[in-house]
Structure 1
């Protein structure tokens, strides 16, 4: 198996034309698209914004308190 890394920018119409390097043989191949920017993976209206869930979740004051012994044993697999 051979591989080639061909950097591209995906345009708005989602159409990409590739020029495959001459060293690769003719025949069947697969194209795998790896998104390198976290913002490129989500449409602009679906991106997470800092603080967007503020006030929607309440965390109790004892959130980080030790668990009861029986529950801790269950998490540790000592049931």
Structure 2
């Protein structure tokens, strides 16, 4: 029976299946450090604010898009009718 350290190194399962529990080194380690720093938190906050603004703008355009299109169609049809009345003898 392997001891605790050996089982932990192999994974959570006794047969060694699953990813080994090792420390991340290299570029992956730097990305975690970025998230812990103040600049990482600020970047995430700005990204979340931009996402909220984009979703709100999209929803507003989606809700009012049909009404704006109908308004432009009505205005265009009025202009066409007025031009047709002026050209008839």
TM-score w.r.t. the length of structure 1 is 0.28
Structure with the larger helix share: 2
Bigger radius of gyration: 2
TM-score w.r.t. the length of structure 2 is 0.26
Q: Which has the higher contact order (CA 8 A, sep 6+)?
A: 1
